[in-house]
C-alpha cells in the first residue's frame, strides 16, 4: 500500500484498489474509467446560500466597518468618505505618532476589502454582500454576477459523458504531453499533487477536483493551464467539507456569487451529484 491515500470523489463501475490505480498511472499516466449510471434526480442546480453562511459573513466584515467608524451596510459613498478622512488623518507623512503607520495600513485594508478592490484584476474578487439589496426573510441568495470567470453549466444535447480518462495533477503534464495537448513554446509551472482530474476529449474539457478554496491561486493556475492546453476548457469542481462554511464564509460567498460548482461532503449523495455534473456538462 502506498503512503498516501487517494480519496476519489466519484464512483466508477470498475473498482480499483489504491495500488492498482498507482500502477496504471505510472505506466500510462491515465486510466479509462466509466462512471456509475446516475438518475436524473441528481441533476445539478446552483447551490443556494443559507442564512447561516450569510450571518458568518456579516460577523467577518463587521470589524472592518468599525475601523472606518461605520455601521455594517454603509454605502460605498460613505465608505469612500470615511476612508478619505481617516487616510488624511493617519497618513505617515502627516501623522508622526508611533501607531499612525499601523493604523493607516488597517484603514487601507478595510477600504479595499469593503469596496471589493484588488491589485490584480485577473484574480477573482470577493464582493461585499452588504452593498447589495438585503435578502428578504433572512434567506439570502446570491445574484448572478454580470462578468463570469466561469460559465454556468448548460443542459447538454449530447449523451452523458460517462467514459472519461482519469489522471491527477501529478501525472497530468505527462499525459498531456503524450496526447499532444500542450501548446508549443509554452513553459509554465504545474501543480504537483494527487487531486483527481477527468479529461473529456469529446468535449475538450479538463475537470479538476479541488478540496480547498484557494481561489486566487486557482485563478492564476487556470490562466496558466489555459495557455498550456489551448484546445481545452478548464473547469474547477469544488468538493468541500462542511466546516469550510464556518472557516471561510467570505470566500464561500464569493464562490456562490461566481456560480462555481460546489459539492458539500456532508451530503450523502454528493458523489452522484458531481458525477451528473461532470457527465452532463456542456460549454
Q: What is the pLDDT of residues 246-277, one digit of tens each?
A: 777 777 877 887 888 999 888 888 988 999 99
d(CA 84, CA 250): 25
Cβ atoms of 205 and 229 closer than 8 Å: no
Average pLDDT, the chain: 79
Task: Give the pLDDT mean for 140-146.
Answer: 41
- Of all residues in the chain, what percent carry a pLDDT higher than 90? 24
Higher pLDDT, 28 or 142: 28
Q: What angle do CA 130, 133, 135 make, to 5 degrees?
A: 90
Using CA atoms, how far residue 182 sits from 29, 99, 168, in Å, is 15, 52, 16
- Of the pLDDT bands very low, low, confident and very high (cuts 50, 70, 90), residue 120 is very low
d(CA 179, CA 195): 20
Residues with Cβ within 8 Å of residue 147, at least 6 apart in sequence? none
- Of the pLDDT bands very low, low, confident and very high (cuts 50, 70, 90), residue 126 is low
- H or E, element range at 197: strand 196-200
- Of the pLDDT bands very low, low, confident and very high (cuts 50, 70, 90), residue 146 is very low
Residue 105: what pLDDT?
94
Cβ atoms of 252 and 244 closer than 8 Å: yes
pLDDT at 79 over 70: yes
Cβ atoms of 225 and 210 closer than 8 Å: no
- Of the pLDDT bands very low, low, confident and very high (cuts 50, 70, 90), residue 222 is confident
Sign of the Cα torsion 38, 44, 49, 50 reads negative
Cβ atoms of 251 and 125 closer than 8 Å: no
Residue 251: what pLDDT?
79
Short-list 183, 196, 188, 174, CA closest to 16: 196
Higher pLDDT, 51 or 28: 28
Residue 214: what pLDDT?
82
| Residue in this structure with the C-alpha cell 488624511, named with its chain if needed | 88
Amino acid at each position: 500500500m502506498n503512503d498516501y491515500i487517494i480519496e476519489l470523489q466519484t464512483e466508477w463501475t470498475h473498482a480499483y484498489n489504491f495500488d492498482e490505480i498507482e500502477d496504471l498511472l505510472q505506466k500510462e499516466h491515465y486510466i479509462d474509467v466509466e462512471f456509475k449510471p446516475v438518475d436524473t434526480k441528481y441533476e445539478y442546480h446552483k447551490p443556494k446560500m443559507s442564512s447561516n453562511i450569510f450571518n458568518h459573513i456579516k460577523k467577518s466584515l463587521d470589524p472592518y466597518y468599525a475601523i472606518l467608524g461605520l455601521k455594517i451596510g454603509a454605502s460605498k459613498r460613505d465608505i469612500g468618505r470615511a476612508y478619505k478622512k481617516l487616510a488624511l488623518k493617519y497618513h505617515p507623512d502627516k501623522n508622526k505618532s508611533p501607531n499612525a503607520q499601523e493604523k493607516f495600513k488597517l484603514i487601507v485594508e478595510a477600504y479595499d476589502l469593503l469596496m471589493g478592490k484588488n491589485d490584480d484584476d485577473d484574480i477573482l474578487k470577493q464582493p461585499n454582500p452588504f452593498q447589495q439589496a438585503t435578502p428578504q426573510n433572512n434567506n439570502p441568495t446570491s445574484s448572478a454576477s454580470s462578468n463570469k470567470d466561469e460559465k454556468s453549466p448548460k443542459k447538454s444535447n449530447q449523451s452523458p459523458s460517462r467514459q472519461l480518462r482519469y489522471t491527477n495533477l501529478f501525472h497530468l503534464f505527462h499525459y498531456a504531453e503524450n496526447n499532444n495537448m500542450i501548446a508549443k513554446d509554452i513553459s509554465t509551472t504545474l501543480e504537483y499533487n494527487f487531486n483527481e482530474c477527468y479529461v473529456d476529449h469529446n468535449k475538450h474539457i479538463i475537470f479538476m477536483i479541488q478540496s480547498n478554496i484557494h481561489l486566487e491561486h486557482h485563478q492564476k493556475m487556470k490562466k496558466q493551464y489555459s495557455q498550456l492546453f489551448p484546445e481545452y476548457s478548464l473547469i474547477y469542481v469544488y468538493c468541500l467539507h462542511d466546516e469550510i462554511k464556518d472557516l471561510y464564509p467570505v470566500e464561500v460567498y464569493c464562490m456562490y456569487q461566481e456560480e462555481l460548482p460546489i459539492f458539500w461532503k456532508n451530503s450523502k449523495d454528493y458523489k452522484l451529484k458531481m458525477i451528473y455534473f461532470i457527465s452532463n456538462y456542456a460549454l
